[in-house]
Amino acid sequence: MRLDGMQVTVVGAGVAGLAAALALARRGAAVTVLEQADAIREVGAGLQVSPNGAAVLRALGLGPALAAAGLRAEAVQLFDGPTGRPVLRLDLARGEYRFVHRADLIALLRDGALAAGVGLRLLTRVVGVDLSGPRPSVTDASGRVHDADLLVGADGLRSRVHAALNGTVAPFFTHQVAWRTTIPCAPGEAAVAEVHMGPGRHVVS
């Protein structure tokens, strides 16, 4: 289905926002992404892109970029943490699983969106959302109003768009904590994720 002439505003330039913007632009929509940061960046950590995710990226024209950015995963190996004993090996060779840094995924989505004609407005913090009229609109911190035929909320944990649709839900602590770091993969090293499982905790590398 073509979306020629449809005006779309996407709030948030993370993975979801950029992917949605690119998909809509490829269908002919005029898409503008509003992002409160001063640049598109993501420190993040490693991600595993599943075959379904890889299929979406290929459909968005990003298959070669994904292949260049991420290792083709071979397997996930589970270990008993306290003893180091191997528990199970999950073979990933049958599908296109990729290990990719989050920053690299953000970069290839950003580049694809810009190449498709998506407009990107940085330093644009949304402070208000109005869904009462015939067209949804958002107001940024400067007072400028952005209206569109379609509004996509991809603005994260404290989403203004989500609050306008469903009311405000305060974030709460789940009592789960993650520490993340990145370690370069040595040339020739097997593309295998290791999960060391322990009581109430685990380590993924």
* Tens-digit pLDDT profile for residues 71-101: 898 999 999 988 989 999 999 888 889 989 8
Q: Dihedral of CA 12/103/200/73: which sign?
A: positive
CATH of domain 7-167+183-204: 3.50.50.60
Q: Which residue has the tokens 């690119």?
A: 22
- Identify the band that residue 193 occupies on the pLDDT scale cut at 50, 70 and 90: confident
Other beta carbons within 10 angstroms of residue 14's beta carbon come to 19
d(CA 84, CA 94) in angstroms, rounded, equals 27
Q: Are strands 86-91 and 75-80 parallel, antiparallel or unpaired?
A: antiparallel
pLDDT value at 44 more than 80:
no
Looking at per-residue pLDDT, the higher value among 28 and 42 belongs to 28
d(CA 151, CA 168) in angstroms, rounded, equals 18
Burial of 136 (0-12, 13-18, 19+ CB in 10 A): buried
Residue 51 tokens read as: 């075959």
pLDDT 10s digits, 152-170: 999 998 899 999 999 888 8
pLDDT value at 43 more than 80:
no
CA distances from 72 to 47, 51, 67 (A): 12, 11, 8
pLDDT value at 200 more than 90:
no
pLDDT 10s digits, 4-35: 999 999 999 999 999 999 999 999 999 999 99
Provide mean pLDDT across the span 99-110.
Answer: 92
Contacts of residue 123, defined as CB under 8 A and 6 or more positions apart, other chains included, come to 35, 36, 37, 38
Provide mean pLDDT across the span 36-45.
Answer: 80
d(CA 125, CA 155) in angstroms, rounded, equals 10
CA angle 94/83/44 to nearest 5° reads 55
Packed helices 15-26 and 102-115: angle between N→C axes, nearest 10 degrees = 30
Contact present, 168 and 50 (Cβ < 8 Å): no
pLDDT the model gives residue 24: 98
pLDDT 10s digits, 112-155: 999 999 999 999 999 999 999 999 999 999 999 999 999 999 99
d(CA 14, CA 20) in angstroms, rounded, equals 10
pLDDT the model gives residue 42: 65
Residue 199 tokens read as: 């009581």
- pTM equals 0.88
Counting DSSP H helices and E strands in the chain, the numbers are 5, 14
